């Protein structure tokens, strides 16, 4: 037998073991599943967990696109519920009707710039909404009687995974990394609302024994990301030959992770993680914003040729007014999840950014559909007074 065949058998055996893992046949409530990461997670979950049932509760805000998951519309193992996580009656009904045993909580207002111009919705969805879900899970899984004696119940077969961000830790200088024990120091309404939600989630573990796990991940990129975030916005503008807005001096640093790697990490946490624990997830891939923008320019030039005026796309770069309170650097130490759960990122930035640009090139109708009238208004509001 060839060495490559042996390797194939080994990989299949590994897959089989993970199918037999604790998520086999689970009833998973995914919140915000029509957003960027939720969509990628649901695609991966259907691939990896062929007998699970997924209930996707999504308010379908500007960021939620049910077409991302259209292929499951007729699938008896998938149900899309158009609703708000703040609607307690609805959430309670779903827990009972669907016998939910696993929650993967993505639903959030997720864009820092929007949180600066309109923080209210961030408080409602990210804080109140998380509270609503935690209460619903407590009621469904732990029950009123057991709560009254103050004893926590470790409901072994249940899992509540609260998906959060590294932005709760604040801003780093030139050195250092965020670990799971770094003190919280959020600086934008977005990160402050996520920090509050993280604290609530952990409090429900300590106080009520709700089997909560929290993950704090660095910046994601990949297919299905709404073009308000840096990478898809720059790809979209580069494809259209529009100016490319870089905030401040362009030297802010983010740690970039391909979205499928994040989703793999979430599955690892669900399957092998310990209730009450926090796991940092990161790509070990720090880049300055300006480097990202130049890389995208060069790759788009390589793939579809230079601009009509024969200039390279780098000529579209514009340094614009900075974001207020702009965090300088984020960097994650993802050592714990590597040691405890054996997760490591698989996709290099070079591969991931190429895959991402290819996806946007192959899915132009997707982009055209999401940059409708309201996106144009958004763009004017955010960039109109920034000097471009
Ligand atoms: P997104 O903005 O693309 O999607 C959010 C989804 O939540 C949308 O489908 C939206 O319709 C839905 N939603 C919003 N309010 C809702 C409500 N009240 N009830 C039900 N659904 C609602 O976000 P994303 O980038 O996919 O991020 C998902 C989660 O991951 C968020 O909690 C975010 O904080 C976290 N996170 C994101 C990143 C990143 O780089 N994007 C990194 C780390 C953590
Ligand atoms: P973003 O994608 O909004 O993610 P976050 O703020 O959550 O890290 O922004 C990533 C970085 O890119 C951040 O430093 C801000 C910067 N940025 C720009 O320079 N220009 C832009 O048009 C956008 C949207 C972001």
Alpha carbons 360 and 303: distance in angstroms, whole number? 12
Starting from the CA of residue 127, give the closest ligand: 1
Q: By alpha-carbon position, which residue is closest to atom 9 of ligand 2?
A: 230
Band the pLDDT of 386: cuts 50, 70, 90.
confident
Of 343, 266, 352, the closest CA to residue 38 belongs to 266
Q: Residue ranges per domain, the chain?
A: 13-220+259-282+326-348
Catalytic residue among 166, 198, 228, 255: 166
> Which ranges in the chain belong to alpha helices (H)?
3-19, 36-48, 88-98, 112-117, 120-122, 129-137, 144-148, 189-208, 230-240, 259-272, 289-304, 335-341, 349-362, 364-370, 373-383
Catalytic annotation, pick one of 78, 177, 190, 378: 190
312's tokens: 């390279």
Tell me the per-residue pLDDT of 297-346, one tens digit each, with 9 for 90 and over: 999 999 999 999 999 999 999 999 999 999 999 999 999 999 999 999 99
Which atom number of ligand 2 is nearest to the Cα of residue 293? 19
Tokens 């009254």 found at: 148
Residue 155 confidence (pLDDT): 47
| CA distances in angstroms from 236 to 39, 261, 368, 378, listed in the order given | 20, 23, 10, 15
Helices and strands (H, E) in the chain, number of each type: 15, 12
Task: Report the nearest atom of ligand 1 relative to the CA of 39.
Answer: 26
Give the whole-angstrom CA distance, residue 166 versus residue 183. Answer: 11
For the CA of 246, the closest atom of ligand 2 is: 19
Q: What is the pLDDT of residue 16?
A: 35
Residue with the larger pLDDT of the pair 7 and 270: 270
Residue 116 has pLDDT above 80, yes or no: yes
Class for domain 13-220+259-282+326-348, per CATH?
Answer: alpha beta
The DSSP bridge pattern shows strands 27-31 and 253-258 to be unpaired
Give me the pLDDT at residue 182, please. 98
Ligand 2 mean position, distance from CA 113 (Å): 8
Average pLDDT estimate for 211-235: 98
Which of 29, 31, 32 for mutating ligand 1's site (highest number of atoms within 8 Å of CB)?
32
Structure confidence by residue, pLDDT tens digits, 10-28? 333 334 333 334 566 789 9
* CB count in 10 Å sphere of residue 259: 23
Residue-wise pLDDT tens digits, 256-303: 999 999 999 999 999 999 999 999 999 999 999 999 999 999 999 999
The packing angle between helices 259-272 and 36-48, to 10°, is: 60
What tokens appear for 307 in the block?
């601009």
Atom number, ligand 2, closest to the C-alpha of residue 244: 22
Instruction: Give the pLDDT score at 24.
Output: 65
Q: What is the DSSP letter of 86?
A: T
Q: How many angstroms separate the alpha carbon of residue 58 from the centre of ligand 1? A: 10
Q: Are 182 and 216 in contact (CB under 8 A)?
A: no
pLDDT at res. 4: 40
* 190 catalytic residue (yes or no): yes
Pocket of ligand 1 (CB under 6 A): 31-32, 34-38, 57-61, 63-64, 84-86, 106-108, 110, 125, 129, 163-165, 194, 217, 219-220, 226
Which residue minimizes the CA distance to atom 23 of ligand 2?
Answer: 230
Q: Which residue's CA lies nearest to atom 4 of ligand 2?
A: 229
**Please, which pLDDT band fits residue 151 given cuts at 50, 70 and 90?**
very low
**Probe target for ligand 2 pocket from 254, 288, 316, 329, with the most ligand atoms within 8 Å of CB:** 254
- Least reliable range by pLDDT among 39-48, 151-160, 277-286, 355-364: 151-160
As a whole number, mean pLDDT of residues 346-361 equals 98
Q: Which residue has the higher pLDDT, 87 or 3?
A: 87
pLDDT at residue number 22: 58
The model's confidence at residue 29, banded by pLDDT at 50, 70 and 90, is very high
- Kindly name the residue from 84, 167, 261, 327 that is annotated as catalytic: 167
pLDDT higher than threshold 70 for residue 144: no
Identify the nearest ligand to the CA of 85 by its number: 1
Which of 12-21, 208-217, 230-239, 247-256 is predicted with the least confidence, judged by mean pLDDT? 12-21
Nearest residue (by CA) to ligand 1, atom 37, is 165
Buried b (16+ CB within 10 A) or exposed e, 346-374: ebebeebbeebbebbeeeeebbeebbeee
Q: What percent of the chain has pLDDT over 90?
A: 86
Q: Report which protein residue has its CA nearest ligand 1's atom 4.
A: 35
User: Given ligand 1 and candidates 30, 35, 260, which is best to mutate, with the most ligand atoms within 8 Å of its CB?
Assistant: 35
């Amino acid at each position: 037998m060839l060495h490559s065949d042996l390797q194939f058998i080994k990989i299949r055996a590994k897959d089989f073991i993970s199918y037999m893992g604790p998520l086999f046949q689970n009833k998973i409530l995914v919140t915000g599943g029509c957003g960027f990461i939720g969509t990628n997670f649901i695609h991966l979950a259907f691939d990896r967990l062929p007998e699970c049932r997924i209930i996707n509760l999504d308010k379908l805000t500007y960021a939620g696109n049910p077409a991302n998951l259209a292929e499951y519309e007729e699938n008896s193992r998938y149900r899309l519920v158009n609703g708000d996580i703040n609607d307690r009656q609805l959430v309670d009904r779903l827990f009972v009707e669907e016998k939910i045993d696993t929650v993967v909580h993505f639903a959030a207002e997720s864009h820092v710039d929007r949180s600066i111009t309109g923080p209210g919705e961030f408080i409602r969805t990210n804080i109140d909404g998380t509270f609503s879900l935690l209460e619903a899970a407590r009621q469904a899984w732990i029950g009123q009687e057991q709560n009254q004696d103050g004893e926590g119940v470790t409901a072994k077969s249940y899992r509540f995974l609260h998906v959060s961000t590294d932005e709760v830790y604040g801003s780093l200088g030139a050195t250092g990394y965020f670990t799971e024990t770094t003190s919280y120091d959020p600086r934008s309404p977005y990160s402050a609302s996520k920090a509050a939600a993280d604290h609530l989630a952990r409090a429900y573990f300590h106080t009520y024994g709700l089997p909560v796990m929290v993950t704090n991940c660095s910046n994601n990129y990949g297919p299905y990301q709404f073009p308000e975030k840096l990478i898809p916005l720059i790809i979209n503008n580069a494809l259209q030959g529009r100016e490319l807005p870089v905030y401040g001096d362009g030297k802010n640093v983010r740690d970039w992770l391909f979205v499928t790697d994040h989703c793999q990490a979430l599955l690892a946490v669900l399957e092998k993680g310990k209730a009450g624990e926090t796991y940092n997830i990161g790509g070990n891939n720090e880049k300055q914003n300006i480097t990202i923008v130049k890389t995208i320019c060069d790759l788009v030039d390589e793939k579809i040729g230079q601009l009509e005026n024969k200039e390279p796309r780098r000529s579209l770069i514009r340094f614009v007014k900075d974001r207020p309170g702009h965090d300088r650097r984020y960097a994650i130490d993802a050592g714990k999840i590597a040691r405890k759960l054996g997760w490591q990122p698989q996709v290099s930035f070079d591969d991931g950014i190429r895959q991402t640009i290819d996806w946007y090139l192959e899915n132009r109708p997707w982009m055209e559909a999401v940059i409708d009238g309201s996106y144009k208004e958004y763009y004017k509001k955010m960039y109109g007074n920034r000097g471009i």
